């Protein structure tokens, strides 16, 4: 029987840490605890993954295009530069490289004017 005990082969059964991928060595060692397992234990195991995309009608892009849609998200006390009323919904996106800040998009709950702010 496998020392992984039928659990997820990506995780250490002793401490739960992510196990590194097998390399040149004939065993896989947990970087957190003393657990190790021979690479042969992974023989015949199949790894499958699934990617599930959100339906188009649930995406924020669809909300921005549909004027009748209700805005979703946190409302903050920010004054709209177009209608001068308080209350804007915001969301963030990583538009540039990962080492730069996120871009914050604000939408007025009254007139739906959109602003963006780079952080």
15 annotated to a ligand binding site: yes
CB burial of 63-102 (b: ≥16 within 10 Å; e: otherwise) equals beeeeeeebeeeeeeeebeeeeeeebbbbeeeeeeeeeee
29 annotated to a ligand binding site: no
Contacts of 81 (CB under 8 A, 6+ apart): 113, 115
∠ Cα 17 18 22 (to 5°): 130
Q: Residues at the annotated binding site?
A: 12, 15, 30, 33, 80, 83, 108, 111
Q: Residues at the annotated binding site for Zn(2+)?
A: 12, 15, 30, 33, 80, 83, 108, 111
């Amino acid at each position: 029987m496998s020392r992984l005990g039928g659990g997820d082969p990506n995780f250490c059964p002793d401490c739960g840490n992510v196990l590194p991928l097998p390399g040149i060595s004939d065993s896989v060692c947990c970087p957190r605890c003393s657990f190790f397992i021979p690479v042969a234990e992974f023989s015949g195991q199949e790894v499958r993954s699934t990617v599930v995309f959100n339906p188009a009608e649930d995406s924020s892009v669809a909300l921005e295009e549909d004027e009748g849609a209700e805005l979703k998200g946190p409302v903050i006390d920010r004054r709209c530069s177009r209608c001068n009323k308080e209350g804007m919904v915001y969301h963030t996106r990583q538009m540039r490289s990962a080492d730069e800040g996120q871009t914050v998009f604000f939408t007025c709950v009254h007139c739906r004017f959109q602003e963006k702010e780079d952080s």
